Structure 1
């Protein structure tokens, strides 16, 4: 266990507060797990949702957040944790609340851009491409995640008696996203992606291992099912055990659609070549994200020609965890 300069006598109580969406919760869990690799903690996961009309309001304008919770939400009540990790819009009012209700004794960490002045939190950890600045702001490339070499090894060993390791190499993990605010995968683009990846399989004699997102539209899904699935040893569509970490662990190369920050960051955490597949729509700030991956040697746009390269795994979650513990220790000593 690495020291953060101050080790608590008892495990730190840590709350993870999100709306329960898989991609959002994984970011908060990833940070908590990275903290746990450095100091003893006890984690409590809380999933919350706001009732209308409160869910329509900006996060900083919800006067009584606890009264705005839906009946199925987990309670947000004392005793307050040592560390609060919030991620996503719904968590912001409770991050602000817990800091006040605990008389600032709870150390409040907010992931992503909270759209509230960063000074209202102890630490804010946004993606670098959001260009948020402040004394207590720690920008990272992409998003916090749960990817570690140990987790990937365990996933591979547990996946159907390790049959993945027996598949012909090179093995290609294919991570397909879908619709977001500004991007989507049209049926035509899905067919183009399928054809280009089938060509990679033919040229290399390797193995395609694909997983589709819940965001993948039915129309795009049909194209992938028709033109990509026949070439895949694994083709996952959200039924049964998710092979996502296992195929990341066994892959020699990773292909990921350009719409997803989470998937690209997780891919880059493996240290394996990451090929970005173009999607439809405007990338906006995602262009800066892809550029930051490229500058670190993690990812390149896929233009139909397979390239191989190496780079140190992108371990931004570990960097964030070390910074959080250092800041928490400094505040604890000051109090």
Structure 2
């Protein structure tokens, strides 16, 4: 169909974040027309630093980025704060030079105002105003790499075969606003692992890039002898993460990592959520998120008015997201009975393609 339907000239404007880019690719692969990718690299100070929200290329390493020049696109699909500023710059340049304004589809939590984009596609953890150019999905458009999981299962089959069942994987993230990883969090994780061991099973814990080494040491102090702890290392060849996704009888994920929870949900595996603790400032931030959820979800007209008046912003709703997974029977709070294996959570990309078609045909 791509050979017969030229469609609008489409650019995917993406940066260096693989997870973000994968969501754009999930949409692009379902488009019935061709597209081109424009990779943009950041100047060192903006790899982690946040540039001002405005149409601009000031944060780019232009020599390391793909060329941004005419012929300009008619449709731009982008994701993330830094690439979205580039998309807005392209839109402005194209309109000034040609008189035609490219449409922008933004994926995820926007840093710019929602109205700057023609379509915003986000999942339920992002609290957005109820406006026509917002499309809310149940889960992020993260496609599970089933080949990677199957490869992990095969590589770890012999090592897992000798472990007492049930095999419960513990997937650990790291501190991020508003959460903190302290000794109490380590004790809670270790306590859950000891319960698995007391029941005759094997707790197998895998840390991640964001897990502080000090926190891993605290975990080891109270972890049962029957359990296993994998300490994350860059470029390690023996990381059990994918194998646990495919082989574990259940998985417990720390609530700071929505992406890990989504991967488990995509497999339909029994999923437990352990929410980290909050710092004093984090408790205030949690209250802010709760108030935003109440306004955006329970009082959408008021929330929309406050957003337009710039008295209310967009934020992530961790609690609400996990509560929705629990209501759907896809998860339970860690320490309670895990749900039975269920139907893998489907991608909702078809809805997005319909909205994009409506946008380009308008």
Paired with 1:11 and 1:210, the residues of 2 have a C-alpha distance of 47
Aligned to 2:272: 275
Aligned to 1:75: 66
Aligned to 2:189: 193
Once the 2 structures are TM-superposed, how far is the Cα of residue 199 of structure 1 from its aligned partner?
A: 2.3
Paired with 2:38 and 2:167, the residues of 1 have a C-alpha distance of 35
Paired with 1:58 and 1:173, the residues of 2 have a C-alpha distance of 40
TM-score, length-normalised on structure 2?
0.73
Paired with 2:193 and 2:350, the residues of 1 have a C-alpha distance of 39
Aligned to 1:256: 253
Superposed, which structure 2 residues align to 1:110-189 within 5 Å?
A: 110-132=106-128, 133-147=130-144, 149=146, 151-157=148-154, 159=155, 162-163=157-158, 166-168=161-163, 169-189=165-185
Once the 2 structures are TM-superposed, how far is the Cα of residue 105 of structure 1 from its aligned partner?
A: 7.0
Superposed, which structure 2 residues align to 1:16-35 within 5 Å?
A: 16-18=13-15, 20-21=16-17, 25-33=18-26, 35=28
Do residues 59 (structure 1) and 53 (structure 2) align? Answer: yes
Paired with 1:222 and 1:331, the residues of 2 have a C-alpha distance of 52
Q: 1:209-240 CA distances to partner (integer Å, 9 max, x unpaired)?
A: 32212222232121224444854456141340
Once the 2 structures are TM-superposed, how far is the Cα of residue 155 of structure 1 from its aligned partner?
A: 4.0
Once the 2 structures are TM-superposed, how far is the Cα of residue 43 of structure 1 from its aligned partner?
A: 6.5
Is the Cα contact below 8 Å between 2:173 and 2:256 reproduced in 1? yes
Is the Cα contact below 8 Å between 2:270 and 2:331 reproduced in 1? yes
Q: 1:116-153 CA distances to partner (integer Å, 9 max, x unpaired)?
A: 23232232122324321321211223433131545533
Aligned to 2:301: none
Q: 1:71-98 CA distances to partner (integer Å, 9 max, x unpaired)?
A: 6752351355675443222122112123
Aligned pair partner of 1:91 in 59, 83, 87: 83
Paired with 1:185 and 1:82, the residues of 2 have a C-alpha distance of 45
Paired with 1:232 and 1:73, the residues of 2 have a C-alpha distance of 45
Aligned to 1:211: 206
Once the 2 structures are TM-superposed, how far is the Cα of residue 275 of structure 1 from its aligned partner?
A: 0.4
Is the Cα contact below 8 Å between 2:207 and 2:231 reproduced in 1? yes
The alpha-carbon distance between structure 1 residues 114 and 280, as it changes in their structure 2 partners (threshold 3 A), is same
TM-score, length-normalised on structure 1?
0.78
The alpha-carbon distance between structure 1 residues 194 and 128, as it changes in their structure 2 partners (threshold 3 A), is same
Corresponding pairs, count: 317
Aligned-residue CA RMSD (Å): 3.5
Q: Which runs of 5+ in 1 are unaligned?
A: none
Is the Cα contact below 8 Å between 2:28 and 2:35 reproduced in 1? no
Give the greater-gyration-radius structure (CA): 2
Q: 1:237-293 CA distances to partner (integer Å, 9 max, x unpaired)?
A: 134034323321222211001212222222211111110113110454311111111
